[in-house]
Structure 1
Amino acid sequence: MINVLVADDDPHIRELLRFYLQKEGYHIIEAENGQKALELLQTERIQLALIDIMMPHVDGYVLCQEIRTMYDIPVMMITAKGEITDKEKAYFLGTDDYIVKPFEPKEVLFRIKALLRRFNMINEEILQIGFIVINRKSYEVEAEGKTMILPLKEFELLAQLANYPGRLFTREQLIDLVWGHDFTGNDRTVDVHIKRLRQRFDEKIHGFVIQTVRGMGYKLEEVIA
């Protein structure tokens, strides 16, 4: 799942973006000012940033410059500042796109997808791993010619691992990506769900395996001969 940072001091804008982006399968991480956004960038795995310019503590120009210096992620500015000089400054500091408020949410969505394609980080709706097909829109898994409906967190965990085959995820990362950063349980929850997925999917039949990396976490590997 792709994590999108939404940095805006207007809670109504954050709510609007959260509503539309979550429907498309993105995980939203919110910041009410630029300083909070910088802190989240250090602690969260962010793949795309949507930022306002006029924010307290650290404004969007400074935030954009910091992101471009420290991180290789796409940046889109969504702001009420519509003068050509504002846009010129934003692009000079490194923004990849610029939208003036008020905006059409659907336009934000297709621009996000264009940016993610450019950065090779598309949030695919259909994933094929081994001999199964994962549909992130319908929350269904096709395996052995049958449709499987998994419990929600098992499905999201499988989809997260399958979206990045071969990539190692710590338990803490999986908790944040699947259960959310406000989850109050412990990281052994991941172990329980991994065990259930292993019981459902056989390496030889389904063409993949979820490997344990001792002391680190988990990764999914294809094992098609």
Structure 2
Amino acid sequence: MIKSRRQWMFPQRLRNVGTAALVSGGVVLAGALMGGCSSQSTPDGSAAQQPGSAAVVVATSTAPKAPEAGKLPLPPGPSDLNLKCTNQYDYAGDVRDNAEINGIGYTSHTCPPVKSSAPKETKAPKAPKSGKLPLPPGPSDLNLRCTNQYDYAGDVRDNAEINGIGYTSHTCPPVKKSAPKAPEDGALPAPPGPSDLNLKCTNQYDYAGDVRDNAEINGIGYTSHTCPPVKTS
């Protein structure tokens, strides 16, 4: 058998090796080309995502921003645990510190209403018209003076004294006129009897022979509004 020139120059063994090398090189080249199409390196060495490839998204969460100043609504309302109540609602005028307010919101999940200690303003009642005032005594309205609530015409005290009694005792006192003269000796009736607060019991009734001193007798009359009977033993 006469070998062809090709067979003579390239024996069968060499041809088999050459074919295998070509096949291996083609596979490597194809892999390199496919790898180059699927990803490219960025300057910092990380792989850049190419169109058509699967993307991996990493979710990140950020705390919501506090509302701008001057635009906060008034509490109460639901509490966002990512924000303090004092950053969600307007607590101007609240008597509590921020820590207390925010603590309530954190534990109850509700931001509390504003707490203000200032009482609501109340208008003082108007004084009755002149000539229509009732006669004292009577309860005192602390928004008005006794002399503007009752008719103290003929009272021997000045207004400051009358109003001071009403302010401290919460009762406007009766009119105090000039003290009447005590009856002449021997003309006093025998007790008991009603007590005139402008006179002592011992000046209204005859307590001759009473074993108590005048202070005790008059004290009973002042507190009970009745002068007691004579006590002889």
Query: In which range does the TM-score fall when normalised by the shorter chain?
Result: under 0.3
Higher relative contact order (CA 8 A, sep 6+): 1
Q: Which structure features the higher share of helix residues?
A: 1
Select the structure of larger CA radius of gyration.
Answer: 2
